[in-house]
């Protein structure tokens, strides 16, 4: 992200999108544009424009008579997103295996090995979440196909809250699979790469209902991810990845 002036249309969009990706806007909530504009300290017009843009990206539901409503958080939707992610990421690794240079993969491996497996605090878990997203985006970039990178970025945003809940629920049992994936890519072992990527993604699928339950509890009882995003909302960097 690039820095944007506070109050600019880009900044308003980023703040509203951060509220949507972290479920600060609660599931099923009808968005009051006037109240949201007051909360952000801006006029209603750029808020409506930002809401339309965020809705087009799949985070809100727009209806002609009801305006904008926050998307649901349910196990079936998460299943659909994870199935789509598996398809996209398997396509990514096939292209990376064929196209990425040894030097680029060595650099990715060095970054992947820096990730810590067992975050002890929420701040460390959030940092691990940002690094996990960064890994998948860097991997997609090595596919040398901008459409895959665009899809991975969108999936990172739409699954952000669920992956955050998963990290918190399994804090003492997390495992960094990324180095193994990169080593298999460096060996050009596509069969092993695909198996590792499927395993990396599919471990979430066994407990989607539990993640949904935990997610609702978090949204209505605290929502540390949303708190962190708001506290770190420097202009143009609402999720403060730079410090992660």
pTM of the model: 0.85
Distance between CA atoms of 90 and 113, rounded to whole angstroms? 21
- Reported as a single tens digit per residue, the pLDDT across 175-191 is 678 999 999 999 999 99
Strand segments (E) across 169-235: none
Which structural domains are found in the chain, ordered by start? 9-72 (1.10.10.10), 75-221 (1.20.120.530)
Mean pLDDT of the 60-84 span: 92
Question: Could you tell me if 22 and 161 are in contact, meaning their C-beta atoms sit under 8 angstroms apart?
Answer: yes
- Reported as a single tens digit per residue, the pLDDT across 101-126 is 999 999 999 999 887 556 677 777 88
Of 37-46, 88-97, 117-126, 151-160, the least confident: 117-126
Mean pLDDT of the 34-44 span: 95
Average of per-residue pLDDT values in the chain: 88
**Tokens describing residue 137:** 């985006």
């Amino acid at each position: 992200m690039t820095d944007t002036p506070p109050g600019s249309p880009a900044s308003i969009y980023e703040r509203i999108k951060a509220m949507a990706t972290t479920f600060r806007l609660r599931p099923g909530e009808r968005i009051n544009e006037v109240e949201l504009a007051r909360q952000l300290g801006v006029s209603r017009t750029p808020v409506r424009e930002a809401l339309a843009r965020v809705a087009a990206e799949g985070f809100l539901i727009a209806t002609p008579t009801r305006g904008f409503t926050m998307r649901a958080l349910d196990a079936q939707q998460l299943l659909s997103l994870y199935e789509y992610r598996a398809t996209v990421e398997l396509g990514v690794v096939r292209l990376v295996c064929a196209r990425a240079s040894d030097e680029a993969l060595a650099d990715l491996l060095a970054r992947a090995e820096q990730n810590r497996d067992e975050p002890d605090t929420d701040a460390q878990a959030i940092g691990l979440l940002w690094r996990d997203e960064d890994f998948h985006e860097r991997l997609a970039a090595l596919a040398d196909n901008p459409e895959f990178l665009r899809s991975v970025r969108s999936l990172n945003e739409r699954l952000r809250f669920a992956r955050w809940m998963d990290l918190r629920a399994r804090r003492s049992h997390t495992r960094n699979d990324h180095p193994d994936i990169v080593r298999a890519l460096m060996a050009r072992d596509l069969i092993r790469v695909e198996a590792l990527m499927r395993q990396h993604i599919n471990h979430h699928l066994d407990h989607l209902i539990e993640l949904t339950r935990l997610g609702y509890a978090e949204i209505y009882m605290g929502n540390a991810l949303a708190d962190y995003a708001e506290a770190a909302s420097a202009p143009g960097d609402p999720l403060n990845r730079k410090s992660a």
